Structure 1
Amino acid sequence: MNLHEYQAKELLKKFNVPVQEGISVDSVMAAEEAYRQIKSETNSKFAVIKAQIHAGGRGKGKIVGSEQRGVQVVKSAEEAIEVAKNILGGTLVTIQTGPAGKKVNKIFIAKDAYYDGPSPTKELYLSILLDRAKGQNVIMYSTEGGMDIEEVAHSTPEKIFKEWIHPSGGLLPFQARKIAFNFGLSGDAFKSCVKFVTNLYNAYLGTDASMLEINPLFKTSDNKIIAVDCKLNIDDSALMRRPEIAALRDVTEEDPTEVEAGQYNLNFVKLDGNVGCMVNGAGLAMATMDMIKLSGGDPANFLDVGGTANAETVEAGFRIILKDPNVKAILINIFGGIVRCDRVAAGVIEAFNKLGNIEIPIIVRLQGTNAAEAKKLIDESGLKVESAILLSEAAALVKKAVA
């Protein structure tokens, strides 16, 4: 589950991680009030308005129909009002959103972190994620923080450092000091960085995060280390024990069909192809998608109905797949292990009758427990459904349907 920047920062503060403070708002009037409040609390010359969407690259992204970027510096209440008008309700397109972009429903009015002080400021980069190859969490960091970190990783990979954390020992003090040293810090900034990295790793573990990225990680002019931006992804499987984090979910940022699928406990991911898939089991779903590609089609989705498929889940799967106008055929591929094939076949027939006239070809491949009985039910139903027993037969029918 993804979180907005303002939500992630609130979580980090619970672990004593210093962040760039600010106020999240969803209206122009509230944006003006937030700006005036921030100006009254600080002597800074400006504030920063940030669009809140589940995507990176906001600083370079633009609002559709204008030159307004997703991150904007403002120096007056009037300017804050104008920027808020342009961003709120607009569609922000970034390198991570694709051309469709994302609608901006909230903005974050942040305090200035670039105030004057005795030493120069510095933008750094730090992230924590799981290295599956090593089976360990890894801290990735660089002295070249900011909007061009992707280019840094591509052109000068030697500037990206990595520190692996052994699961039994956790982050050790010398590792936090090593990170601060490689950042080129000294004195108070060095001490602040060691504490920051330690608390940040505790936040990563304490929120069951799958990825935590701070870009930029900022050294202020008075040698403080703060998170100016934060991207935090939470492991979906851990949400059952993190109800306070699960409550932060913003479904408006997610694909509506994926949200609907979740209500029926269906594992669904929308893709760009023309053949809808309904399968039980993730491994079989992946094999089915490969088979569709080999037969000349492209999978329109990944849909795993699980091992307890019934008429309700099959009907929900049909309804979700049919919402995609690009779908030219639907392939149902079920292996009857935990669930009986005849039960799935009955669900297909019931769903077909409930949903009414379905014009596109439906191909059903059932194998395993009661597969013969299931094929008989399908063949005798009178519906425009083609059945198959072998995967090769299903492949041939898919090829015919998309030809």
Structure 2
Amino acid sequence: MRLHEYQAKQVFADAGIPTPSSEVVETADAAREAAERIGGTVAVKAQVHVGGRGKAGGIELADDADEAHEAAEGILGMDLKGKHVEKVLVEEAVDFVDELYVGVTTDRGEGRAVAMVSSEGGVNIEEVAEENPDAIARTHVDPAYDLRPFEAREVVYGANVDRETARDVTGVLSTLYELWDERDADDAEINPLMVTEDGGVVAADAVFNIDDSALYRQEELAEMEDEAFEDDFEARASDAGFDYVRLDGNVGIIGNGAGLVMTTLDLVDHFGGSPANFLDIGGGADAERVQAALELVFEYENVDSVLFNVFGGITRCDEVAQGINDALEAFDELPEPLVVRLTGTNEEEGRELLTDRVETAEGLEEAVKRTVELSGGDGE
């Protein structure tokens, strides 16, 4: 579960990490009132799960309450990289002299957490990692000991943080790791962590993503789940028990198993297509779940073709086929071309059962190429 910025900042502030004064609002009038209460220059920030909000017009500075009202009017309701903006954060602007990156995430290759600090804050950390990896200081954390104080200091000094700021940054990194560990997080990041003229630090942005499987023991965070969704697609997918991520492309993708779906996304991209979503229906999906997944993907207006890729292990291919047939009965005409690849348990029975309103393919590359062609790509 990915928290919004305002939710993540509340978690960070409760743990003692300095954050700017702020209020989250849903109307331009409320933004004006919030700006009046905060006083001075404020930032009006779209609350959506996308990067590069500033460049896309989702963040505006306002010198007074009237400008905050105008900025909120322009941001609320806008489509920001495919996300509809329903809330904005009105936040005290930070007067800063430097920007840092501080983060804790899971290094799956090492099977451990990795704590990181970079002096190149305020920009996409993935770009920094690719273009200038030496600009990121890091240490892997032994779970038997957690992040020890000397390790945190080594990372901070390794990032060439000024001595007058290093103590505060070390405290933020240590707190961030404690939150990551105690709250079952996948990622905990502050980018940028702004350095003020007096050497203090303020979290000007916040990312906090929680392991969905651990929400049962994170009751406080689980209560934020409904608000963390940005659109009906994500909320409905969660209610149905799907792992779903909406993307910017036009090839709808459904599969059973995260690895299979990721492979399918990669092949769609390889053969010239652009994925519209990631949707994993999980193992043992019955006809009702299959129908719900198809209806969800068909409703996304970007989609021009759909690939349903199923490996029948626990999931029986004939049951999947019946689910597809049931879903298509709701449509007088097929909304978009649908290619189905069934392999595994009862695959022959499944292909025989499928309606002739869909195309079938036995090989994965064959299925992907055909789906990309139907979406308007060349499939080569």
With structure 2 as the length reference, what TM-score do the two structures score?
A: 0.80
Write out per-residue CA displacement over residues 9-36 of structure 1, whole angstroms, 9 at most, x where no aligned residue: 1101222222222222223333233233
C-alpha distance in 2 between matches for 1:150 and 1:277: 26
Indicate if the aligned counterparts of 1:333 and 1:364 stay in contact, CA closer than 8 A. Answer: yes
Could you give the per-residue CA deviations for residues 132-176 of structure 1, whole angstroms, max 9, x where no partner exists? Answer: 222222222122333586765565443322222222221111122
Q: 1:266-305 maps to which residues of 2 (within 5 A)? A: 266-270=242-246, 276-286=252-262, 301-305=277-281
Q: Cα gap change, 1:205/1:273 in structure 2, threshold over 3 Å: closer, same or farther?
A: same
| 1:358 alignment counterpart | 334
Are 1:278 and 1:303, in contact at CA under 8 Å, matched by a contact in 2?
Answer: yes
Q: Is the Cα–Cα contact under 8 Å of residues 146 and 215 in structure 1 kept in the other structure?
A: yes
**1:66-116 deviation line (CA, Å, top 9, x unaligned):** xxxx13142x33333333333333445xxxx4xx5x44332323335439x
Moved more, 131-140 or 332-341: 332-341
> Paired residue for 2:314, among 323, 327, 338?
338
Match of residue 42 from structure 1 = none
Identify the residue that residue 51 of structure 1 maps to in structure 2.
Answer: 46
Task: Give the Cα–Cα distance (whole angstroms) in 2 for the partners of residues 260 and 400 of structure 1.
Answer: 26
**Are the equivalent residues in 1 in contact too, given 2:351–2:360 (CA < 8 A)?**
yes
In the alignment, which residue of structure 2 is the partner of 1:72? 61
Task: Say if 2:117 and 2:156, in contact at 8 Å, map to a contact too.
Answer: no
Match of 1:165 in 2: 141
- Report the structure number with the largest CA radius of gyration: 1
Cα–Cα, structure 1 residues 54 and 305, in superposed 2: closer, same or farther, change >3 Å? closer
Task: Give SS of 2:329's match.
Answer: helix
Quote the residue 1:88 is aligned against. Answer: 76
The 1:241–1:81 alpha-carbon spacing in structure 2 relative to 1, beyond 3 Å, is: same
- Counterparts of 1:181-260 in structure 2, within 5 Å, are 181-182=157-158, 183-186=160-163, 189-249=165-225, 254=230, 256-260=232-236
Give CA-to-partner distance per residue, 1:340-396, whole Å, 9 cap, x none.
333333333333334444375555554444445445544xx7x545566x4389749
Aligned equivalent of 1:114: 95
Measured in 2, the distance between the counterparts of 1:229 and 1:331 equals 37
Cα pair 1:53 1:253 within 8 Å, conserved: no
Distance of aligned partners of 1:78 and 1:243 in 2 relative to their CA distance in 1, 3 Å threshold: same
User: 1:124 — aligned with what?
Assistant: 100
Q: Is the 8 A contact 2:101 2:193 kept in 1?
A: yes
Secondary structure of the corresponding residue to residue 62 of structure 1: coil
Name the Cα RMSD after superposition.
Answer: 3.8
Aligned to 1:36: 36
Contact 1:308 1:338 (C-alpha < 8 Å) held by counterparts: yes
CA offsets per residue over residues 22-74 of structure 1, 9 Å max, x none? 222223333233233223xxxxx5343333332333344326xxxxxx13142
Once residues 352 and 134 of structure 1 are traced to their aligned partners in structure 2, the CA distance between those partners, rounded to angstroms, is 45
Question: Residue type of the partner of 2:68?
Answer: A
How far the C-alpha of 1:399 sits from its partner, in A, is 7.4
Q: Could you say which residue in structure 2 is the equivalent of 1:67?
A: none
Q: Which residue of 2 aligns with 1:145?
A: 121
Q: Is the 8 A contact 1:58 1:71 kept in 2?
A: no
Cα offset for 1:283?
A: 4.0
Contact 1:89–1:105 (Cα < 8 Å) also in 2:
yes
One-letter code of the match for 2:29?
Answer: M
In the alignment, structure 1 residue 104 sits paired with structure 2 residue 92 = no
Residues 1:202 and 1:298: Cα distance change in structure 2 (over 3 Å)? closer
Q: Which runs of 5+ in 1 are unaligned?
A: 40-44, 64-69, 116-120
SS in 2 for 1:168: coil
Where does the alignment leave 5 or more consecutive residues of structure 2 unmatched? none
Counterpart residue number, 1:118:
none
DSSP-derived class of the 1:312 partner = helix
**What is the TM-score normalised by the length of structure 1?**
0.76
Q: Which residue of 2 aligns with 1:7?
A: 7
2:363 aligned partner, one-letter code: L
**Residue aligned with 2:52, SS:** coil
CA drift at 1:126: 1.4
The answer for the alignment partner of 2:18 in structure 1 is 18
3-state SS of paired residue (1:163): strand
- What letter corresponds to residue 35 of structure 1 in structure 2? A
Q: Residues 355 and 235 of structure 1: is their aligned pair in 2 closer, same or farther, counting only changes over 3 Å?
A: same
Partner residue, 2:296: 320
CA distance in 2, matches of 1:22, 1:369: 55
Q: Is the 8 A contact 2:180 2:188 kept in 1?
A: yes
Query: 1: CA distance between counterparts of 2:126 and 2:320?
Result: 47
Q: Distance in 1 between matches of 2:132 and 2:369?
A: 49
